[in-house]
Structure 1
Amino acid sequence: MSTKPSASTTTETDPNPPPALLPNLPYDIGLQCIARVPRSHHPHLSLVSKQWKSLLQSPIFFSTRLNLNSTQTHFYLNFRIHCTHFKWYVLHPNPRLVFQVPQMPFDAIGSAYAVLGPKIFVIGGSIADIPSKHMWVFDARFNRWERGPNMRVGREFAAAGVVNGKVYVLGGCLVDTWARSTNWAEVFDPEIGSWATVPSPIEVRDKWMHASAVMGDRIYAMADRGGVVFDPREKLWSGVSTELDLGWRGRGAVVDGVLYCYDYLGKIRGFDEEEDKWKEVRGLEKGLPKFLCGATMANVGGRLVVVWEAKINSKETQISCAEIEVRKDDNGDLLGTIVWSAVILSVPSGSSIVHCAGVVV
């Protein structure tokens, strides 16, 4: 079991303490002062000195931010450009500025995605029409990609989710061999850095998964027909309810235990697991378009963020985004209030949103 590093970096017995970060202040106090500065200002801080630049890229700096509750949730987007390659962007809050992040070393179609703390896991996908075993990990703290351990089988269009600090992946592979059948579901433990098989009954092993989410520490994966629910704690498998199956359209997001997506009329609805019922989110009728062509959603710091495409001419597509505060009223109905909405980016015409996620840094 690993432990978090302490925010303190100096000791009374250290014969060579690091030089002060701020004049007339102990190193620890200077570190805590800098750690409280919003991440959007870090590029400017890195210009102060070589010492500050090195500090901003150190693990102890990020652990200090975490201990001080000074982290922020940033919105990351992945686009498929001209059906050939992918680009990642990050939207910094306050002010809302969009920056491109380093490109992933390999482009894969149909990858699964999961987020754990400051890391985005890109799992599998098809490379040259061959399902891949690869996993790439983007560490938002250091703005770089790392190669993760391979899965036991190649996958494309799998489902993924994080429960209790572990990354689970379901499906996305044929079950025509013993290896694929046995490893239809796998789990990655970041503590030990390896994948392990998750036993699954043969009746749940559909090939493709078109959507997934985590609700109540259970992984919901929607297949071509129906779907499955996996409870990692109890190691139990079950099917999804008919109500959930009929109403789940497109890529959704879970906020405060409610799964949100858009319906066939282009309106945002939420699925309450306890009531097993879909409800329209009221209060958004005038502030948002009808998402007849789809939208992608993410939980960003406890709010629902929705992003969608709007073609403006033959060369460019505008990407619009809205942050929504969602809640239940006293009657259990779902209400939404738009915090802000704006065009955040223009991409080449023909581009499409693949995935978006909130990442804590």
Structure 2
Amino acid sequence: MGAILSMASPKSGTKEYHEISQNDNCKRQRMSPCTFEESQRLIPNLPDELSIQIIARLPRICYSHIRLVSQKWKETVTSSELFKLRKELGRTEEWLYLLTKIEEDKLSWHAFDPLSRKWQRLPRMPNVVYEEEYSRGLPWFSIWNMVGPSIKICDTIRGWLGRKNSFDQMPFCGCAIGALDGCLYVLGGFCKASTMKCVWRFDPIQNAWSEVTAMSTSRAYGKTGILNNKLYVVGGVSRGQGGLAPLQSAEVFDPSTGIWSQVPSMPFSKAQALPTAFLTDMLKPIATGLTPYMGRLCVSQSLYSWPFFVDVGGEIYDPETNSWVEMPNGMGDGWPARQAGTKLSVVVDGELYAFDPSSSLDSGKIKVYDQREDAWKVVIRKVPMYDLAGSESPYLLAGFHGKLHVITKDINHEISILRAELRKNLGPFSSGSTSVVAGSLHEHSESLAESDTVVWKAIGTKDFGSSELVSCQVIDI
């Protein structure tokens, strides 16, 4: 018996070894040096250098599918080298990034590609809770009862911005938005009863959020702008011992170092010039808008004591002198300062535009600033609007592809992106009525004259349900 086992064992072992060797030989035959090298390439029979040149020329909307091919393809389309090559080839694309609010307690980002007319949903922002930020604060419900020395500042913010009791529900409520170096930035805002310092960045290449260096001051409803590839944030409100207090401070973020630096505070010189100490104590200054223009930051300002507002023009920050100067009277008089919480001014092809809502709920006009005459001039007298009185930001301005765009809700309550198109054989914008074409807005054009100079073209629409507009940014990568 033992002899039989001793004879069977070597035989079985030899057979097993033979089978393994045979498989190995097959693998070696299939994976010869040439064949193995081919299998590791992005595109078979092509050098990777050439494959990357091809990928760089593809529309960016394709990358979300390309990254699913393999790990190597994913690494390629999420590499900074590929997007540097796209820039060298002149293949960068401007996408519109839209922030919406759902049901009072959810913020959602969406990206729109104007070339393919397709939408993409971004990953949700982190639902962060900073215990150290609000554990020292007041109960959530008490934020509306906090009273300053002479003004219920919270009632002011609530009524002025059209907000309901949502600060205690939504992280990032009242956050500031910026776009810098190909990334989105979300700064501060409220988390429960406290204002936050935190800053989050969304990288479209990696399709991911990450936290970056926090601001030195916690703030909500700050205003942002980009100068010299640096992100500035000014004003807003912060929680103090007596409640919410408006801020005059400003700071700047350098993405190359990841460091925030202080900027001189806004003087609010008009607030200092009020005739009586009573008015100075009662009317609180606050920044209501910011647009970078001609290498400087133009900040519109108001004095308020709910429900009273006093527009006081604004101030301009010059990074070369690191100082603030009073805004020219003409510029300050025409700025849409009272429309807080909205993005109503934008620079397109070097020109400063602002949206001016009319007294009617279904129209508005667009003005351009004439720097030589220090005056705003109406260039579009009729912007198609609908009754959106209940919306926080019923309309936003954006500039991309060298044209002016208005984002609003159409008659079907779908979010619509409208592009201002000049009629053929016409010169620069001239004042006059406008018409609308495409989609559900087409019927609006029937009541307008044939000689209109501007046509509003709906380049994209999307049904976001009950979502409301909050803000928008344009990123070119």
TM-score (norm 1): 0.82
The aligned counterpart of 1:271 is 369
User: Residue 347 of structure 1: SS of its match in structure 2?
Assistant: coil
Match of 1:281 among 379, 382, 393: 379
The aligned counterpart of 1:243 is 330
The aligned counterpart of 2:188 is 124
Distance 1:216 1:326 in 2: 25
User: Residue 220 of structure 1: SS of its match in structure 2?
Assistant: strand
Per-residue CA distance 1:290-309 (angstroms, 9 max, x = gap): 46744101122322221102
Structure 1, 54-63 or 329-338: larger mean CA deviation: 329-338
Structure 1, 303-312 or 140-149: larger mean CA deviation: 303-312
Which structure has the larger Rg? 2
Distance 2:100 2:286 in 1: 21
Distance 1:258 1:326 in 2: 16
Contact 1:124 1:154 in 2 (8 A): yes
User: Residue 464 of structure 2: SS of its match in structure 1?
Assistant: strand
Contact 2:223 2:235 in 1 (8 A): yes
Distance 1:145 1:174 in 2: 25
User: Residue 123 of structure 2: SS of its match in structure 1?
Assistant: coil
Distance 2:122 2:370 in 1: 35
Change (3 A) 1:326 1:195: farther
The letter for the 1-side match of 2:458 is: S
Contact 1:153 1:183 in 2 (8 A): no
Matched, 1:307 2:383: no
TM-superposed deviation, 1:326: 7.2
Matched, 1:322 2:410: no
The letter for the 2-side match of 1:138 is: F
The aligned counterpart of 1:3 is none
Matched, 1:216 2:294: yes
User: Residue 216 of structure 2: SS of its match in structure 1?
Assistant: coil
Per-residue CA distance 1:277-318 (angstroms, 9 max, x = gap): 212224x74xx5146744101122322221102464xxxx31
The aligned counterpart of 1:190 is 255
Match of 1:41 among 59, 62, 80: 62
Query: More relative contact order in 1 or in 2 (CA 8 Å, sep 6+)?
Result: 1
- The percent identity for this pair of structures is 30
The letter for the 2-side match of 1:93 is: P
Distance 1:210 1:240 in 2: 14
Contact 1:304 1:326 in 2 (8 A): no
Structure 1, 288-297 or 239-248: larger mean CA deviation: 288-297
The aligned counterpart of 1:359 is 475
Matched, 1:234 2:321: yes
The aligned counterpart of 1:69 is 90
Distance 2:331 2:387 in 1: 20
Structure 1, 248-257 or 154-163: larger mean CA deviation: 248-257
Structure 1, 228-237 or 317-326: larger mean CA deviation: 317-326
Match of 2:464 among 344, 347, 350: 347
The letter for the 1-side match of 2:379 is: V
Matched, 1:170 2:234: yes
Distance 1:263 1:71 in 2: 32
Change (3 A) 1:146 1:325: farther
The aligned counterpart of 2:397 is 297
Contact 2:268 2:315 in 1 (8 A): no
Q: Which protein is richer in strand relative to its size?
A: 1
Structure 1, 117-126 or 263-272: larger mean CA deviation: 263-272
Match of 1:56 among 77, 100, 107: 77
Contact 1:182 1:199 in 2 (8 A): no
User: Residue 331 of structure 2: SS of its match in structure 1?
Assistant: helix
The aligned counterpart of 1:8 is none
Match of 2:50 among 29, 32, 55: 29
The letter for the 2-side match of 1:151 is: M
The letter for the 2-side match of 1:356 is: C
Change (3 A) 1:210 1:67: same
The aligned counterpart of 2:122 is 101
Q: Which runs of 5+ in 2 are unaligned?
A: 1-36, 128-170, 272-283, 303-310, 359-363, 389-393, 433-452
Change (3 A) 1:325 1:123: farther
Per-residue CA distance 1:53-111 (angstroms, 9 max, x = gap): 22111222222212222110001100111221211101123321112111111431222
The letter for the 1-side match of 2:462 is: L
User: Residue 281 of structure 1: SS of its match in structure 2?
Assistant: strand
Q: Which protein is richer in helix relative to its size?
A: 2
User: Residue 53 of structure 1: SS of its match in structure 2?
Assistant: helix
TM-superposed deviation, 1:210: 2.1
User: Residue 357 of structure 2: SS of its match in structure 1?
Assistant: coil
Change (3 A) 1:134 1:29: same
Structure 1, 255-264 or 111-120: larger mean CA deviation: 255-264
Change (3 A) 1:19 1:221: same
Contact 1:167 1:189 in 2 (8 A): yes
Per-residue CA distance 1:9-63 (angstroms, 9 max, x = gap): xxxxxxx999443344332222111111011122332344332222111222222
The letter for the 1-side match of 2:288 is: H
Aligned residues: 335
